[in-house]
Amino acid sequence: MKSKLSSVLAIVFLLLLAPMMAAQESDSPLPVIITIPQGEKKEISLGGILSDVQSQSTKASISGIDFASFDETKEKLIVDATLIQPVGTYFGKLVLDSKEIPLVIAVSEDNPPLNVKVILKDNFIETGENLRLYFDIKTLTQIKNTSIQVNYEITDFYGNILATHTNEKTFSPSDPVFDTLQVPSSIQPGKYILIAKVIQEGSMVVTAELFEVGEKELLPSRTVTRIALIALIGVGIAVFLLLIALFLLRKNIDFIVKNQPKKLEEIYASYIKTRKASDAVSKLRKQLGLLNSGRRLRVIDKGLHEKASRRIYSVVRKIEHKYKNVPIGSKDREETDRLKRELSLIESAYKLKSIKKGHYKEAKKRILGSLKKRQ
Protein backbone atom coordinates (compact mmCIF):
# COMPACT_ATOMS: atom_id res chain seq x y z
CA MET A 1 0.00 0.00 0.00
CA LYS A 2 2.76 2.45 0.98
CA SER A 3 4.85 1.61 -2.12
CA LYS A 4 1.88 2.29 -4.43
CA LEU A 5 1.23 5.68 -2.77
CA SER A 6 4.92 6.59 -3.07
CA SER A 7 4.89 5.71 -6.78
CA VAL A 8 1.79 7.83 -7.40
CA LEU A 9 3.34 10.78 -5.53
CA ALA A 10 6.55 10.49 -7.58
CA ILE A 11 4.62 10.49 -10.86
CA VAL A 12 2.58 13.54 -9.82
CA PHE A 13 5.78 15.32 -8.77
CA LEU A 14 7.42 14.73 -12.17
CA LEU A 15 4.32 15.78 -14.11
CA LEU A 16 4.04 19.03 -12.16
CA LEU A 17 7.74 19.85 -12.49
CA ALA A 18 7.94 19.08 -16.23
CA PRO A 19 6.55 22.44 -17.44
CA MET A 20 8.72 24.36 -14.96
CA MET A 21 11.85 22.50 -16.07
CA ALA A 22 11.00 23.10 -19.72
CA ALA A 23 10.43 26.80 -19.07
CA GLN A 24 13.95 27.16 -17.68
CA GLU A 25 15.67 25.77 -20.78
CA SER A 26 17.30 28.22 -23.16
CA ASP A 27 18.85 27.52 -26.55
CA SER A 28 20.79 30.73 -27.15
CA PRO A 29 23.08 32.59 -24.68
CA LEU A 30 21.85 35.86 -23.21
CA PRO A 31 23.65 39.07 -24.13
CA VAL A 32 26.32 40.67 -21.97
CA ILE A 33 25.10 44.22 -21.19
CA ILE A 34 27.59 46.83 -19.94
CA THR A 35 26.96 50.49 -19.07
CA ILE A 36 29.89 52.89 -18.89
CA PRO A 37 30.34 56.71 -18.89
CA GLN A 38 32.76 58.46 -21.23
CA GLY A 39 36.34 58.59 -20.01
CA GLU A 40 36.19 55.39 -17.92
CA LYS A 41 37.66 51.92 -18.32
CA LYS A 42 36.09 48.68 -17.05
CA GLU A 43 37.41 45.15 -16.64
CA ILE A 44 34.79 42.37 -16.53
CA SER A 45 35.64 38.79 -15.47
CA LEU A 46 34.43 36.08 -17.88
CA GLY A 47 34.15 33.38 -15.20
CA GLY A 48 30.37 33.51 -15.00
CA ILE A 49 29.98 33.87 -18.76
CA LEU A 50 32.19 30.84 -19.44
CA SER A 51 30.14 28.69 -17.05
CA ASP A 52 26.85 29.88 -18.59
CA VAL A 53 27.89 28.78 -22.09
CA GLN A 54 29.73 25.69 -20.77
CA SER A 55 33.03 26.69 -22.35
CA GLN A 56 36.47 25.79 -20.97
CA SER A 57 38.34 28.11 -23.35
CA THR A 58 40.39 31.03 -22.03
CA LYS A 59 40.66 32.56 -25.50
CA ALA A 60 38.07 34.98 -26.77
CA SER A 61 37.71 37.71 -29.36
CA ILE A 62 35.48 40.74 -29.79
CA SER A 63 33.83 41.74 -33.06
CA GLY A 64 31.76 44.82 -33.91
CA ILE A 65 33.03 47.08 -31.07
CA ASP A 66 36.51 48.54 -31.50
CA PHE A 67 36.90 49.88 -27.93
CA ALA A 68 36.32 46.46 -26.36
CA SER A 69 38.94 43.71 -26.18
CA PHE A 70 39.84 40.51 -24.34
CA ASP A 71 42.88 40.20 -22.06
CA GLU A 72 43.99 36.53 -22.21
CA THR A 73 46.39 36.98 -19.28
CA LYS A 74 43.74 38.30 -16.90
CA GLU A 75 40.90 36.40 -18.65
CA LYS A 76 38.86 39.58 -18.56
CA LEU A 77 36.81 41.64 -20.99
CA ILE A 78 38.22 45.18 -21.26
CA VAL A 79 35.92 48.10 -22.16
CA ASP A 80 37.91 51.31 -22.68
CA ALA A 81 35.89 54.51 -23.14
CA THR A 82 38.72 56.85 -22.16
CA LEU A 83 39.12 58.12 -25.74
CA ILE A 84 35.85 60.12 -25.55
CA GLN A 85 33.74 57.44 -27.21
CA PRO A 86 30.55 59.04 -28.63
CA VAL A 87 27.42 58.64 -26.47
CA GLY A 88 25.16 55.83 -27.65
CA THR A 89 24.57 52.08 -27.70
CA TYR A 90 27.01 49.70 -29.36
CA PHE A 91 26.33 46.13 -30.45
CA GLY A 92 28.90 43.42 -31.10
CA LYS A 93 29.82 39.81 -30.34
CA LEU A 94 31.94 38.02 -27.79
CA VAL A 95 33.28 34.89 -29.51
CA LEU A 96 34.23 31.91 -27.33
CA ASP A 97 35.31 28.85 -29.33
CA SER A 98 32.47 28.43 -31.82
CA LYS A 99 29.92 30.17 -29.61
CA GLU A 100 28.88 33.78 -30.14
CA ILE A 101 27.52 35.81 -27.23
CA PRO A 102 25.80 39.13 -28.01
CA LEU A 103 27.58 42.11 -26.48
CA VAL A 104 25.78 45.42 -25.74
CA ILE A 105 27.64 48.47 -24.42
CA ALA A 106 25.74 51.66 -23.42
CA VAL A 107 27.98 54.75 -23.25
CA SER A 108 26.74 57.84 -21.33
CA GLU A 109 28.16 61.35 -21.10
CA ASP A 110 31.01 62.04 -18.72
CA ASN A 111 29.93 63.62 -15.39
CA PRO A 112 26.19 64.02 -16.16
CA PRO A 113 24.04 65.93 -13.62
CA LEU A 114 21.96 62.77 -13.07
CA ASN A 115 22.83 59.22 -12.09
CA VAL A 116 20.04 57.12 -13.63
CA LYS A 117 19.15 53.46 -13.11
CA VAL A 118 16.24 51.87 -14.98
CA ILE A 119 14.41 49.10 -13.10
CA LEU A 120 11.86 46.92 -14.90
CA LYS A 121 8.91 45.86 -12.75
CA ASP A 122 8.35 42.87 -15.04
CA ASN A 123 11.16 41.33 -17.11
CA PHE A 124 8.54 39.12 -18.79
CA ILE A 125 5.40 40.39 -20.53
CA GLU A 126 2.87 38.82 -22.88
CA THR A 127 2.33 39.97 -26.45
CA GLY A 128 0.49 43.31 -26.49
CA GLU A 129 1.11 44.09 -22.81
CA ASN A 130 2.77 47.25 -21.50
CA LEU A 131 6.26 47.27 -20.03
CA ARG A 132 6.20 48.84 -16.56
CA LEU A 133 9.36 50.46 -15.24
CA TYR A 134 10.70 53.20 -13.03
CA PHE A 135 13.82 55.36 -12.88
CA ASP A 136 15.95 55.51 -9.76
CA ILE A 137 17.49 58.96 -10.22
CA LYS A 138 20.23 60.46 -8.08
CA THR A 139 21.11 64.12 -8.68
CA LEU A 140 24.77 65.00 -8.66
CA THR A 141 24.07 68.74 -8.46
CA GLN A 142 21.61 70.89 -6.53
CA ILE A 143 18.38 70.38 -8.51
CA LYS A 144 14.86 70.78 -7.18
CA ASN A 145 11.96 69.83 -9.46
CA THR A 146 12.94 69.43 -13.10
CA SER A 147 11.85 67.62 -16.25
CA ILE A 148 13.55 64.92 -18.29
CA GLN A 149 13.04 63.52 -21.76
CA VAL A 150 13.27 59.76 -22.23
CA ASN A 151 13.86 58.30 -25.70
CA TYR A 152 13.06 54.57 -25.72
CA GLU A 153 14.30 52.02 -28.27
CA ILE A 154 13.39 48.34 -28.42
CA THR A 155 16.04 46.37 -30.31
CA ASP A 156 17.13 42.81 -30.91
CA PHE A 157 20.54 41.58 -29.75
CA TYR A 158 22.25 42.97 -32.86
CA GLY A 159 21.02 46.58 -32.77
CA ASN A 160 18.06 46.33 -35.16
CA ILE A 161 15.50 48.88 -33.90
CA LEU A 162 11.99 47.40 -33.69
CA ALA A 163 10.13 50.23 -31.90
CA THR A 164 10.75 53.74 -30.55
CA HIS A 165 8.90 56.01 -28.15
CA THR A 166 9.50 59.36 -26.42
CA ASN A 167 8.14 60.53 -23.06
CA GLU A 168 8.64 63.64 -20.94
CA LYS A 169 8.59 63.36 -17.17
CA THR A 170 8.76 65.79 -14.26
CA PHE A 171 10.53 64.48 -11.19
CA SER A 172 11.66 65.38 -7.71
CA PRO A 173 15.14 64.12 -6.68
CA SER A 174 13.66 62.31 -3.65
CA ASP A 175 11.04 60.31 -5.58
CA PRO A 176 11.35 57.58 -8.27
CA VAL A 177 9.89 58.29 -11.72
CA PHE A 178 7.36 55.71 -12.92
CA ASP A 179 6.61 55.11 -16.60
CA THR A 180 4.76 52.70 -18.86
CA LEU A 181 5.94 51.74 -22.34
CA GLN A 182 3.55 50.20 -24.83
CA VAL A 183 5.23 47.30 -26.63
CA PRO A 184 3.76 46.89 -30.17
CA SER A 185 1.77 43.70 -30.67
CA SER A 186 3.73 43.17 -33.91
CA ILE A 187 6.82 42.22 -31.88
CA GLN A 188 7.13 38.44 -31.88
CA PRO A 189 7.79 36.37 -28.74
CA GLY A 190 11.45 36.42 -27.77
CA LYS A 191 14.10 38.31 -25.79
CA TYR A 192 14.86 41.98 -26.54
CA ILE A 193 16.88 44.96 -25.32
CA LEU A 194 15.20 48.09 -23.93
CA ILE A 195 17.40 51.16 -24.39
CA ALA A 196 16.47 54.29 -22.44
CA LYS A 197 18.24 57.57 -23.28
CA VAL A 198 17.52 60.05 -20.47
CA ILE A 199 18.16 63.67 -21.48
CA GLN A 200 18.25 66.55 -18.97
CA GLU A 201 19.41 70.03 -20.00
CA GLY A 202 21.42 68.68 -22.92
CA SER A 203 23.16 65.90 -20.97
CA MET A 204 22.39 62.25 -21.81
CA VAL A 205 22.54 59.06 -19.76
CA VAL A 206 22.10 55.77 -21.65
CA THR A 207 20.91 52.52 -20.02
CA ALA A 208 20.08 49.11 -21.45
CA GLU A 209 17.97 46.31 -19.92
CA LEU A 210 16.95 42.83 -21.07
CA PHE A 211 13.29 41.76 -21.20
CA GLU A 212 11.22 38.99 -22.75
CA VAL A 213 7.96 38.92 -24.70
CA GLY A 214 5.97 35.68 -24.50
CA GLU A 215 2.88 34.33 -26.22
CA LYS A 216 -0.41 35.25 -24.60
CA GLU A 217 -1.70 32.36 -22.53
CA LEU A 218 -4.98 31.58 -20.82
CA LEU A 219 -2.92 31.25 -17.65
CA PRO A 220 0.48 32.94 -17.37
CA SER A 221 3.37 30.53 -16.83
CA ARG A 222 4.03 32.08 -13.39
CA THR A 223 0.43 31.38 -12.38
CA VAL A 224 0.70 27.81 -13.68
CA THR A 225 3.89 27.36 -11.68
CA ARG A 226 2.23 28.61 -8.49
CA ILE A 227 -0.82 26.35 -9.05
CA ALA A 228 1.48 23.38 -9.72
CA LEU A 229 3.45 24.00 -6.52
CA ILE A 230 0.28 24.41 -4.45
CA ALA A 231 -1.16 21.21 -5.98
CA LEU A 232 2.07 19.34 -5.28
CA ILE A 233 2.11 20.50 -1.66
CA GLY A 234 -1.58 19.59 -1.31
CA VAL A 235 -1.01 16.08 -2.71
CA GLY A 236 1.96 15.60 -0.41
CA ILE A 237 -0.03 16.67 2.66
CA ALA A 238 -2.99 14.46 1.67
CA VAL A 239 -0.75 11.39 1.20
CA PHE A 240 1.04 12.13 4.50
CA LEU A 241 -2.25 12.39 6.40
CA LEU A 242 -3.54 9.23 4.72
CA LEU A 243 -0.43 7.31 5.76
CA ILE A 244 -0.84 8.55 9.34
CA ALA A 245 -4.53 7.52 9.34
CA LEU A 246 -3.64 4.05 8.02
CA PHE A 247 -0.89 3.72 10.63
CA LEU A 248 -3.27 4.65 13.49
CA LEU A 249 -5.98 2.36 12.13
CA ARG A 250 -3.54 -0.52 11.91
CA LYS A 251 -2.33 0.19 15.46
CA ASN A 252 -5.91 0.19 16.81
CA ILE A 253 -6.72 -3.04 14.98
CA ASP A 254 -3.58 -4.72 16.31
CA PHE A 255 -4.60 -3.67 19.83
CA ILE A 256 -8.14 -4.97 19.35
CA VAL A 257 -7.00 -8.34 17.98
CA LYS A 258 -4.30 -8.76 20.63
CA ASN A 259 -6.55 -7.89 23.58
CA GLN A 260 -9.88 -9.01 22.11
CA PRO A 261 -10.60 -12.09 24.28
CA LYS A 262 -9.94 -10.14 27.49
CA LYS A 263 -11.84 -7.06 26.27
CA LEU A 264 -14.89 -9.07 25.23
CA GLU A 265 -14.98 -10.73 28.67
CA GLU A 266 -14.96 -7.26 30.28
CA ILE A 267 -17.84 -6.05 28.07
CA TYR A 268 -19.88 -9.15 28.85
CA ALA A 269 -19.16 -8.92 32.59
CA SER A 270 -20.19 -5.26 32.57
CA TYR A 271 -23.44 -6.17 30.85
CA ILE A 272 -24.18 -8.94 33.40
CA LYS A 273 -23.71 -6.37 36.16
CA THR A 274 -25.64 -3.40 34.69
CA ARG A 275 -27.94 -5.08 32.16
CA LYS A 276 -27.42 -2.11 29.82
CA ALA A 277 -27.55 -3.91 26.51
CA SER A 278 -27.21 -0.71 24.46
CA ASP A 279 -23.81 0.13 26.02
CA ALA A 280 -22.46 -3.35 25.40
CA VAL A 281 -23.68 -3.51 21.80
CA SER A 282 -22.33 0.01 21.08
CA LYS A 283 -18.82 -1.02 22.17
CA LEU A 284 -19.01 -4.20 20.11
CA ARG A 285 -20.16 -2.29 17.04
CA LYS A 286 -17.18 0.12 17.32
CA GLN A 287 -14.80 -2.83 17.31
CA LEU A 288 -16.57 -4.38 14.34
CA GLY A 289 -16.51 -1.05 12.44
CA LEU A 290 -12.74 -0.71 12.88
CA LEU A 291 -12.20 -4.27 11.68
CA ASN A 292 -14.37 -3.72 8.58
CA SER A 293 -12.53 -0.45 7.75
CA GLY A 294 -9.19 -2.18 8.09
CA ARG A 295 -10.30 -4.98 5.78
CA ARG A 296 -11.52 -2.53 3.09
CA LEU A 297 -8.18 -0.65 3.22
CA ARG A 298 -6.15 -3.91 3.14
CA VAL A 299 -4.42 -3.27 6.47
CA ILE A 300 -5.75 -6.56 7.93
CA ASP A 301 -5.86 -9.91 6.15
CA LYS A 302 -9.07 -11.82 5.48
CA GLY A 303 -8.46 -14.68 7.93
CA LEU A 304 -7.69 -12.40 10.88
CA HIS A 305 -10.72 -10.23 10.07
CA GLU A 306 -13.09 -13.21 10.01
CA LYS A 307 -11.66 -14.64 13.26
CA ALA A 308 -12.03 -11.35 15.15
CA SER A 309 -15.53 -10.72 13.74
CA ARG A 310 -16.75 -14.18 14.80
CA ARG A 311 -15.66 -13.46 18.39
CA ILE A 312 -17.72 -10.24 18.44
CA TYR A 313 -20.84 -11.86 16.97
CA SER A 314 -20.57 -14.71 19.50
CA VAL A 315 -20.72 -12.21 22.41
CA VAL A 316 -23.76 -10.49 20.85
CA ARG A 317 -25.56 -13.81 20.55
CA LYS A 318 -24.56 -14.70 24.13
CA ILE A 319 -26.12 -11.48 25.43
CA GLU A 320 -29.31 -12.03 23.42
CA HIS A 321 -29.57 -15.65 24.62
CA LYS A 322 -29.12 -14.89 28.32
CA TYR A 323 -31.47 -11.89 28.45
CA LYS A 324 -34.08 -12.37 25.73
CA ASN A 325 -36.53 -9.93 27.31
CA VAL A 326 -34.11 -6.99 27.18
CA PRO A 327 -34.09 -5.23 23.79
CA ILE A 328 -30.69 -4.72 22.12
CA GLY A 329 -29.28 -1.40 20.96
CA SER A 330 -31.62 1.43 19.99
CA LYS A 331 -34.77 -0.63 20.84
CA ASP A 332 -33.75 -0.43 24.52
CA ARG A 333 -33.78 3.40 24.41
CA GLU A 334 -37.04 3.49 22.44
CA GLU A 335 -38.82 1.30 25.03
CA THR A 336 -37.58 3.49 27.90
CA ASP A 337 -38.84 6.63 26.14
CA ARG A 338 -42.23 4.95 25.50
CA LEU A 339 -42.65 4.08 29.18
CA LYS A 340 -41.80 7.67 30.22
CA ARG A 341 -44.36 9.07 27.79
CA GLU A 342 -47.01 6.62 29.10
CA LEU A 343 -46.28 7.69 32.71
CA SER A 344 -46.64 11.37 31.74
CA LEU A 345 -50.03 10.69 30.08
CA ILE A 346 -51.35 8.79 33.10
CA GLU A 347 -50.32 11.59 35.49
CA SER A 348 -51.99 14.19 33.27
CA ALA A 349 -55.18 12.09 33.09
CA TYR A 350 -55.28 11.70 36.88
CA LYS A 351 -54.89 15.45 37.43
CA LEU A 352 -57.81 16.02 35.06
CA LYS A 353 -59.81 13.37 37.00
CA SER A 354 -60.17 11.25 33.82
CA ILE A 355 -59.21 8.02 35.63
CA LYS A 356 -59.84 6.71 39.15
CA LYS A 357 -57.22 6.90 41.87
CA GLY A 358 -56.88 3.11 42.14
CA HIS A 359 -56.30 2.65 38.40
CA TYR A 360 -53.75 5.51 38.46
CA LYS A 361 -51.70 3.99 41.31
CA GLU A 362 -51.74 0.54 39.74
CA ALA A 363 -50.55 1.82 36.32
CA LYS A 364 -47.89 4.08 37.84
CA LYS A 365 -46.50 1.22 39.92
CA ARG A 366 -46.26 -1.02 36.84
CA ILE A 367 -44.49 1.62 34.71
CA LEU A 368 -42.01 2.63 37.44
CA GLY A 369 -41.18 -1.03 37.97
CA SER A 370 -40.40 -1.50 34.27
CA LEU A 371 -38.22 1.64 34.22
CA LYS A 372 -36.30 0.49 37.31
CA LYS A 373 -35.41 -2.80 35.61
CA ARG A 374 -33.82 -0.84 32.74
CA GLN A 375 -31.59 1.32 34.89
pLDDT at 207 over 70: yes
Is the pLDDT higher at 313 or at 325? 313
- Report the phi/psi class of residue 298: left, alpha or beta, with left for phi > 0 and alpha for psi in -120 to 50: left
Predicted confidence (pLDDT) per residue in 225-247, tens digit: 778 888 888 888 888 888 887 77
Residues 280 and 305 in one domain: yes
Residues 202 and 280 in one domain: no
Residues 353 and 280 in one domain: no
Range(s) of the domain holding residue 340: 330-373
Is the pLDDT higher at 22 or at 310? 310
Last-in-domain residue among 168, 198, 216: 216
Is the pLDDT higher at 247 or at 43? 43
Question: What's the rounded Cα separation, in Å, for the pair 283 and 287?
Answer: 7
Residue 19 belongs to some domain of the structure: no
Residue 69 belongs to some domain of the structure: no
Residue 81 belongs to some domain of the structure: no
pLDDT at 355 over 90: no
pLDDT at 221 over 50: yes
Residues 165 and 129 in one domain: yes
| 227: enclosing H helix or E strand | helix 221-274
* Predicted local confidence at residue 326, as pLDDT: 47
Number of folded domains in the chain? 3
Written as one letter, the residue type at 190 is G
* Predicted local confidence at residue 191, as pLDDT: 92
Residues 123 and 160 in one domain: yes
Closest CA to 170 of 143, 188, 140, 205: 143
Residues 141 and 234 in one domain: no
Domain CATH number, residue 166: 2.60.40.3880
Cα 198 to its chain centre, rounded Å, is: 41
Residues 339 and 318 in one domain: no
Predicted confidence (pLDDT) per residue in 149-189, tens digit: 999 999 999 999 999 999 998 877 667 788 888 888 888 89
* Predicted local confidence at residue 353, as pLDDT: 65
Written as one letter, the residue type at 273 is K
Is the pLDDT higher at 211 or at 260? 211
Residue 27 belongs to some domain of the structure: no
Q: Are 346 and 360 in contact (CB under 8 A)?
A: yes
pLDDT at 39 over 50: yes
Residues 283 and 207 in one domain: no
* Predicted local confidence at residue 9, as pLDDT: 47
Residue 301: pLDDT band (50, 70, 90) is: confident
- Among 130-134, 151-155, 345-349, which stretch is predicted with the lowest mean pLDDT? 345-349
Last-in-domain residue among 162, 196, 216: 216
Residue 7 belongs to some domain of the structure: no
> Mean pLDDT throughout 247-276?
64
Residue 39 belongs to some domain of the structure: no
Cα 101 to its chain centre, rounded Å, is: 36
* Predicted local confidence at residue 315, as pLDDT: 72
* Predicted local confidence at residue 90, as pLDDT: 94
* Predicted local confidence at residue 166, as pLDDT: 92
Question: What's the rounded Cα separation, in Å, for the pair 375 and 370?
Answer: 9
* Predicted local confidence at residue 126, as pLDDT: 86
Average pLDDT over the chain, rounded to whole?
Answer: 75
Question: What's the rounded Cα separation, in Å, for the pair 306 and 288?
Answer: 10
Residues 176 and 260 in one domain: no
Is the pLDDT higher at 166 or at 316? 166
Residues 192 and 256 in one domain: no
Residue 244 belongs to some domain of the structure: yes
Residue 279: pLDDT band (50, 70, 90) is: low
Any idea what DSSP says for residue 31?
P
Residues 180 and 247 in one domain: no
Predicted confidence (pLDDT) per residue in 187-203, tens digit: 889 999 999 998 888 88
Euclidean distance between the first and final Cα of the chain, in Å? Answer: 47
Residues 122 and 184 in one domain: yes
* Predicted local confidence at residue 91, as pLDDT: 94
Instruction: Determine if the pTM surpasses 0.85.
Output: no
pLDDT at 16 over 60: no
Of these ranges, 98-107, 279-288, 364-373, the one predicted with the greatest mean pLDDT is: 98-107
CA atoms within 13 Å, Cβ hemisphere of 260:
23
Last-in-domain residue among 185, 216, 247: 216
Residue 20 belongs to some domain of the structure: no
